[in-house]
Amino acid sequence: TCQCFLRDDYVYCAVGMRGYFASNILRQCGFSNVRNLIGGYRLYSTITADYSSAGQPATAQLPAKDSPSSHTQVPEVDACGMSCPGPILKLKQSIDQIAVGEQLCILATDPGFARDAQAWCDTTGHNLIRQETIKGKYKVTIEKTACKEEGTCVNETPAKGKTFILFSDDLDKALATFVLANGAAAMGQPVTIFFTFWGLNAIKKPHAVKAKKDIWGKMFGMMLPKNSKGLGLSKMNMFGLGAKMMRMVMKEKHVDSLESMRKQALENGVEFIACQMSMDVMGINREELLNEVSIGGVATYMNRAEEANINLFI
C-alpha cells in the first residue's frame, strides 16, 4: 500500500461545506484517514481567538452604525448581459437580502442601467454612493436605507408632471403626442416622452447614419422607416399616400409639421427618453437618434411617472 494512503490528511475550507465534499472524494480515492475541520476556518479562528481582555472596560470608540468599516467587503452582483428591466430586478432582489446600512455593487452592460439606477434610488430612497464605467461595464454602488420602510421618504409635494409613452410610429398618433407635450410644456409643467419600440422611429435623425449592425439589425433597418418623414397613418394610409395628403393639408391649414412640433418640444424643455431594451431588440443604434435624446429604461420612466399626475400611453 502506498504510504500516502496511511497518513492522516486534514481538509478545511471557510465554513466546512467544501471541505466535507473534498473529504468524501478523497475517501473514494482510497485515502482512509481523512479529517474535515467542521465549521471551517472561520469557526476555528473564533474558538482560538485571544479573549484575555474580556471584561475590561472598552477604551476605543465604537464605529458609527451607519458608516461601514473600511475593511468590510462589499458584495458584488453580476447583471451583465441582461437587458432592461433585468438589471433593475436583480438590484431589487439583491438589496432585499442585505441589512440596512450595508452596501452592494452591481455590474451591468446595459447602457441605460446607470440612469435607471439613479432613478430607482430617487424613487425608493436608497443612497447611490457612486457610478463607474469599467471596460464597457457600468458599476453602481448603493447603500440600503430604512427610509422607505419607515415612511419618511414620501414626497408630499403634489405631482405636476406629465409623461407620455409613444409606442406607435403612426403619424397621427405621433402628432397627438407632440401636441399634448407642447401644450403641457407651455403651462410650465415638466414633460417627459418615453419612446419605445415603433415609437423610436419618430426621433430618428433626418439623414441616414452609418452604423454597424448584425443581420437582424439590418433586416429591421430595411423594414422600418428611415426617419419621421417616413411615418404612415394609422388608417387610410394607402401605401403612404394618405400620410402625404395629411402633411399637405396640414401645410395648407398652417399646422406645424411633426418635425416642427418635435423641435418646439425640445426647445420647451420636454425630455426625450429612448428605451434601451427596444433599441436592442429592433437593432437601432444610439447614433441613429437625435442628439437631444437620452437613453433610459423602465426605472427611469417609472421615476418620471411617480412625479406626474398624468400618464398617457399612445
CATH of region 76-150: 3.30.110.40
Least confident segment among 139-148, 169-178, 243-252: 139-148
Q: Reply yes or no on whether the pLDDT at 200 is more than 60.
A: yes
Per-residue confidence (pLDDT) for residue 275, from 0 to 100: 93
Cα gap 298→111, rounded to integer Å: 13
Cα gap 22→20, rounded to integer Å: 5
Reported as a single tens digit per residue, the pLDDT across 88-137 is: 888 888 888 888 888 899 999 888 888 888 888 888 889 898 888 888 88
Which of 292, 293, 169 lies closest to 225 in space, CA to CA?
Answer: 169
Per-residue confidence (pLDDT) for residue 69, from 0 to 100: 44
Per-residue confidence (pLDDT) for residue 50, from 0 to 100: 63
Per-residue confidence (pLDDT) for residue 111, from 0 to 100: 83
Which has more confidence, 196 or 43? 196
Which has more confidence, 18 or 235? 235
C-alpha cell at 184: 403641457
Per-residue confidence (pLDDT) for residue 269, from 0 to 100: 92
Percent of the chain with pLDDT over 70: 86
Which residues have a catalytic role annotated? Answer: 84
Is 144 in contact with 103 (CB distance < 8 Å)?
A: yes
Average pLDDT over residues 45-64: 57
Least confident segment among 75-79, 147-151, 215-219: 147-151
Q: pTM (2 decimals)?
A: 0.63
Range list for CATH 3.40.1260.10 in the chain: 161-313
Is 63 in contact with 92 (CB distance < 8 Å)?
A: no
Per-residue confidence (pLDDT) for residue 85, from 0 to 100: 74
Amino acid occupying residue 117: A
To the nearest whole number, what is the mean pLDDT of the chain? 83
DSSP class of residue 213? -
Per-residue confidence (pLDDT) for residue 157, from 0 to 100: 64
Range list for CATH 3.30.110.40 in the chain: 76-150
Q: Which CATH superfamily is domain 161-313 in?
A: DsrEFH-like (3.40.1260.10)
Most confident of 61-70, 181-190, 278-287: 278-287
**Distance between start and end Cα atoms, the chain:** 80
What H or E segment, with its residue span, contains residue 175?
A: helix 171-186
Q: Reply yes or no on whether the pLDDT at 56 is more than 80.
A: no
**pLDDT class of 53 with cuts at 50, 70, 90:** low
Reported as a single tens digit per residue, the pLDDT across 243-286 is: 999 999 999 988 899 999 999 999 989 999 999 999 989 999 99
Sign of CA dihedral 28, 34, 37, 40: negative
Sign of CA dihedral 198, 203, 206, 212: negative
Least confident segment among 19-33, 96-110, 150-164, 249-263: 150-164
Give the other-Cβ count within 10 Å of 231's Cβ: 25
Which of 222, 229, 196 lies closest to 83 in space, CA to CA?
Answer: 196
